[in-house]
Amino acid sequence: MSLSQNDPFTDSNYVRIFDTTLRDGEQSPGATMTSNEKLELARALARLGVDIIEAGFPAASPDDLEAVRRIAVEVGNPSDWAQSSRPPMICGLARATRNDIDKAWEAVRAAARPRIHTFLATSEIHMKHKLKMDRAQVLARVADMVSYAVSLCPDVEFSPEDAGRSDPEFLYQVLEQAIKAGATTLNIPDTVGYTTPDEFGALISGILKNTPEIEACCVSVHCHNDLGMATANTLAGLRAGARQAEVTINGIGERAGNTSLEEVVMALRTRPNIYGLSTGIDTPQIARVSKLVSNYSGMVVQPNKAIVGANAFAHEAGIHQDGMLKNFLTYEIMRPEDVGVSRSRLVLGKHSGRHAFRARLTELGYNLNESELDQAFERFKNLADKKKTITDADLEALLADEFYQLHEVYSLVGLQVACGTMGMPTATVRLRGPDGTTQTQAAVGTGPVDAAYKAMDAIIQAPNTLLEFSVHSVTEGIDALGEVTVRIESKETRQTFDAQKEMDQPHTYGGFGADTDIVVASAKAYLSALNKLMIAVNAIETPAEISVAPAPVLS
């Protein structure tokens, strides 16, 4: 069977899922990920079945380019671990300039199916205040730059930025230029989350009706959630004829975020009679990828978040089997299993052996090699000594703490804390540095976490501001594992370039740690963020054997 016979894109009812968690999602304050995290997440997105991964904005910095390039090489080509022989497209964002387009092409060209995504604003307010260009200049630039991108890459996507607030007549002209120049996907962004479903659906219908030669292209929708309507707007666009949805996991993204992948996919799946559209998403992986994004980005998911919130299916808990069945029929429109949420909760305990442990991990979709299994089993036994029952959520937190920490410059050897209402919270920290020597420091703080952080700061001289700190318990019970996520901002001058706003933003780093002692978990999380900061700022190379060692993979 040839590739084209196998190509779902030839099905007129197939919606291409374009995931921009790594680009627009990662651009949200504090969601910055390291190159290794991006690579792991790209692998997870490929397994989830997304069609196109927007992997970053290569012109922002050499590191950003390199991160996209690694994804193009390692995720954008057929491989053993992928579920099918059809790897996802790998896309790089570029402003409508030669330099940006060159950088994007350099980053994505190694992928089997590369894409360049270039954009230029078309609303009066953006043309006047940001671009300082008139309509004729915008039309000419679009024609030039799309042509240039097409001369490099066979698959080019063009976005008229702030389309939701643009004059439709002008939009048709701009899109016509892009099509003539060879763009194959036309993405219509509601950049500021301003439109309503009727309005956005009408915009897409108008574009399909009034833009010459548009039949040969795929129309795409890209919505933001400022008024809480990103999902409804995206679906209205698809009903109007768009066949690509640009989304992020958990709806992360700037301000109120982007459209949630999980909401769009599950709405299409739950309401086939309304939409009659399909996607390539393997929905039982949704919960796990959601958790991965939450850990890597440090962006918590509220309990009442649709599909992936802790309560989304919570009415299952604590009621009798009878009630549950009755309830399933009367109050449930999706089954939790369909998005990878398990109905059963208790799994393992202190007396569970290595065999049961491995079996449960395999059921959960983790596929560890022997040495990883040894490492994980040791952590499990330690936890089981402290905690009566070990649930799936505990196992996932433990594996995240053990394996998602992709590189350690400094590692935590020991921590000792005294605190309470008498004031003077004190922490003593011992760290092992990159040269193998250990250092110990004590510090007093406003609380035990502050004290521990100050002690670590005294060893690792990496000036930063703590932007966010959050802890939650993984499972019920007073002896639960605590998961800590932190975000820090480097005081070094290094900044992240925001392509849309054409402004530098301070670089931030997220860290994650899990332990039954929340002060220990907090120290781990801070150290993991500090390690990322040091790798980025000092360009410390991750040892090769660590950077290529994959995190536990979903089978």
169: DSSP letter:
H
Work out how close the CB of 435 gets to its own copies at its nearest, in angstroms, rounded to a whole number.
22
Nearest to 499 by CA among 114, 139, 120, 21: 120
**Residue that has been written with the tokens 């959520």 in this structure:** 393
Torsion of CA 20, 21, 24, 30, to 10 degrees: -170
The answer to whether 442 contacts its own copies (rule: CB under 8 A) is: no
Sole window of 279-287, 322-330, 352-360, 545-553 interacting with its own copies (rule: CB under 8 A) = 322-330
SS3 assignment, position 53: strand
Work out how close the CB of 313 gets to its own copies at its nearest, in angstroms, rounded to a whole number.
7
The residues in 87-106 that bind its own copies, with binding defined as CB under 8 A, are none
Identify whether the C-beta of residue 78 lies closer than 8 Å to the C-beta of residue 90.
no
Sole window of 28-36, 77-85, 148-156, 399-407 interacting with its own copies (rule: CB under 8 A) = 28-36
Q: What Cα–Cα distance (Å) separates residue 398 from each residue in 40, 54, 361, 539?
A: 17, 29, 11, 29
Q: Tell me whether residue 2 or residue 493 sits nearer to its own copies (CB atom).
A: 493
The residues in 180-239 that bind its own copies, with binding defined as CB under 8 A, are 191-194, 196-199, 225-233, 235-236, 239
Work out how close the CB of 391 gets to its own copies at its nearest, in angstroms, rounded to a whole number.
13
Q: Tell me whether residue 39 or residue 293 sits nearer to its own copies (CB atom).
A: 293
Q: Tell me whether residue 313 or residue 403 sits nearer to its own copies (CB atom).
A: 313
The residues in 460-479 that bind its own copies, with binding defined as CB under 8 A, are 465-473, 476-479
In terms of phi and psi (left: phi > 0; alpha: psi -120 to 50; beta: otherwise), the region of 437 is beta
What angle separates helix 392-403 from helix 286-297, to the nearest 10 degrees?
A: 50
Q: Which of 318, 435, 493, 539 binds its own copies (CB under 8 A)?
A: 318
Rounded to whole angstroms, the Cα distance separating 80 from 71 reads 15
The answer to whether 336 contacts its own copies (rule: CB under 8 A) is: no
Q: Tell me whether residue 5 or residue 421 sits nearer to its own copies (CB atom).
A: 421
Q: Which of 79, 85, 270, 369 binds its own copies (CB under 8 A)?
A: 270
The residues in 138-177 that bind its own copies, with binding defined as CB under 8 A, are 162
Q: Which of 76, 160, 189, 257 binds its own copies (CB under 8 A)?
A: 257
Q: Which of 449, 459, 533, 554 binds its own copies (CB under 8 A)?
A: 449
Torsions phi, psi of 187, nearest 5?
-100, 130
Rounded to whole angstroms, the Cα distance separating 450 from 464 reads 13
Identify whether the C-beta of residue 494 lies closer than 8 Å to the C-beta of residue 530.
no
Rounded to whole angstroms, the Cα distance separating 76 from 86 reads 9
Sole window of 60-68, 72-80, 330-338, 341-349 interacting with its own copies (rule: CB under 8 A) = 330-338
The answer to whether 13 contacts its own copies (rule: CB under 8 A) is: no
Work out how close the CB of 114 gets to its own copies at its nearest, in angstroms, rounded to a whole number.
30
CB neighbour class for 184 (10 Å; exposed up to 12, middle 13-18, buried from 19): middle
Residue 354 identity: R
Work out how close the CB of 459 gets to its own copies at its nearest, in angstroms, rounded to a whole number.
15
The answer to whether 516 contacts its own copies (rule: CB under 8 A) is: yes
Sole window of 38-46, 59-67, 253-261, 434-442 interacting with its own copies (rule: CB under 8 A) = 253-261
Q: Tell me whether residue 83 or residue 428 sits nearer to its own copies (CB atom).
A: 428
Work out how close the CB of 444 gets to its own copies at its nearest, in angstroms, rounded to a whole number.
11
CB atoms near residue 144 (< 10 Å)? 15
CB atoms near residue 507 (< 10 Å)? 20
Binding characters for its own copies, 275-314, by CB under 8 A (x = yes): ------------------------xxxxxxxxx-x-xxxx
Both tokens of 48, joined, read 């989830």
**Residue that has been written with the tokens 């796990």 in this structure:** 288
281 contact partners, CB below 8 Å, separation of at least 6: 17, 48, 49, 50, 261, 265
Q: Tell me whether residue 317 or residue 356 sits nearer to its own copies (CB atom).
A: 317
Rounded to whole angstroms, the Cα distance separating 101 from 150 reads 10
Identify whether the C-beta of residue 480 lies closer than 8 Å to the C-beta of residue 387.
yes
Identify whether the C-beta of residue 487 lies closer than 8 Å to the C-beta of residue 528.
no
Compute how many residues bind its own copies; rule: CB under 8 A: 121
Q: Which of 432, 506, 542, 550 binds its own copies (CB under 8 A)?
A: 506
Q: Which of 92, 237, 448, 511 binds its own copies (CB under 8 A)?
A: 448
Q: Tell me whether residue 382 or residue 555 sits nearer to its own copies (CB atom).
A: 382
Work out how close the CB of 180 gets to its own copies at its nearest, in angstroms, rounded to a whole number.
28
Rounded to whole angstroms, the Cα distance separating 142 from 59 reads 18
Nearest to 341 by CA among 294, 295, 385, 309: 309
Q: Tell me whether residue 146 or residue 481 sits nearer to its own copies (CB atom).
A: 481
Work out how close the CB of 70 gets to its own copies at its nearest, in angstroms, rounded to a whole number.
27
Rounded to whole angstroms, the Cα distance separating 159 from 178 reads 9
Q: Tell me whether residue 332 or residue 363 sits nearer to its own copies (CB atom).
A: 332
The residues in 343-372 that bind its own copies, with binding defined as CB under 8 A, are none
SS3 assignment, position 441: strand
The residues in 483-502 that bind its own copies, with binding defined as CB under 8 A, are 501
Q: What do you get for the CA distance between the two ends of the chain, in Å?
A: 25
Work out how close the CB of 117 gets to its own copies at its nearest, in angstroms, rounded to a whole number.
19
Q: Which of 6, 79, 151, 446 binds its own copies (CB under 8 A)?
A: 446
Q: Which of 421, 437, 461, 493 binds its own copies (CB under 8 A)?
A: 421
Work out how close the CB of 417 gets to its own copies at its nearest, in angstroms, rounded to a whole number.
5
The answer to whether 505 contacts its own copies (rule: CB under 8 A) is: yes
